[in-house]
Amino acid sequence: MRYVRGYLLPRLLQYVWVIIFGVTIVFFIPRLAGQDPVLEKIAQIQEQGAYLDPTAVRSLTETYKELYGLKGTLFEQYVSMWQRIFTFNFGPSFFQYPTPVSELLGTYLPWTIGLLLTSTLLAWILGNVIGGIAGYFSQRRWSKSLDIMVMLIRPIPHYIFGVLILILFAYVWRLFPAGGGGMLGRRAVFNLSFILNALYYAFLPALALIILGGAIWFQQMKLLVQNTKNEDFVQYAKAGGVKEQLIVSRYVFRNAMLPQITQLALLFGQIFSGALIIEMVFSYPGIGLLLYMAVTRGDYNLIMGITVLSILTITTAVLLLDLLYPLFDPRIRHR
């Protein structure tokens, strides 16, 4: 009961509050931007040569407002939005009308999950392992050389690093395609041919995310290990004759990894920013590219669908890590 009141319940309440606050912010931001997708859609129809009399314009306006959840007062639109979220029915997309938003998400989401989940976990594992070893042996020449290399790579923006990789591997050496648009619009299927094809197109964007992400984890882990190995309990273990391999694995790495586990959950909050840029550079058919098209065209329904999905994914990941964190940190279990 103490665990429920003191640890579980506050985190569940925080989880619900973050979802409500995040979705509310997303609801108001597009409406404050000044874009009216209904008027833009009608103007687009008229530009194509169709004549619409005033009665037809009014009727069409009401129909589109109903489809895009823009009918009624702002409060009525807000209530309607929550009804759509609970039923996961965000209506049709504006720029790919009449395709439903849920169908677009089902088409584009697997590509982003496959790319970001794989590249994030690989960057986290490689960065922490290599950074931890480099931090423990920080006086070695190879560790210092690796640190200089990482310091040069880390400040490079995603779009510049992506273009550099694109030039090297797609134009100079011609090992991989210049863009991932060859599979755009195709639903993911689980057979060997499709998986190999997907890996082929996803290699360059994944490589960019792994190198840039791994550089960040490397530097953080190296500093943590350097600080941890100077702690009193580590020095006491050395004085007691504990084997160095055991000190590294049981004392240094395990304690240094605790902040990195927390950072992994927080990283999901920034994951779509890197995805947006990388997917644009490599024309990769994922949620980041779809979000860019939705924002530039003022597609309220699609923006809402993508952001709600990202908010739910991020907050759920953080909640699960919070609930599992006592397994990694015995101090929390003791309290």
Find the DSSP H helices in 282-299: 287-296
Q: What is the DSSP string of 68-80?
A: TT--S-HHHHHHH
pLDDT of residue 220: 93
Domain ranges of the chain: 1-99+298-335, 101-296
- Maximum CA extent, the chain: 90
Per-residue model confidence as pLDDT tens digits over 259-275: 888 787 667 655 665 66
pLDDT of residue 211: 93
pLDDT of residue 335: 55
pLDDT of residue 60: 74
Residue 333's closest CA among 324, 147, 113? 324
pLDDT of residue 272: 60
pLDDT of residue 183: 53
SS3 letters across 12-50? HHHHHHHHHHHHHHHHHHHHHCCCCHHHHHHHHHHHCCC
Per-residue model confidence as pLDDT tens digits over 46-98: 676 666 677 777 777 777 777 777 777 788 888 888 888 888 888 888 777 77
Find the DSSP H helices in 181-286: 192-228, 232-239, 244-246, 254-267, 271-281
Q: What is the DSSP string of 145-166?
A: HHHHHHHHHTTS-HHHHHHHHH
Residue 131's closest CA among 51, 46, 62, 213? 213
Spatial contact of 68 and 37, defined as CB atoms under 8 Å apart: yes
CA quadruple 124, 130, 132, 137: dihedral, nearest 10: -170
pLDDT of residue 149: 94
What CATH architecture applies to the domain 101-296? Orthogonal Bundle (1.10)
pTM, rounded to two decimals = 0.78
Cis peptide before 98 (omega within 30 of 0): yes
Ranges of the chain with pLDDT below 70? 1-4, 6-7, 33-37, 45-46, 48-52, 179-190, 265-266, 268-275, 328-335
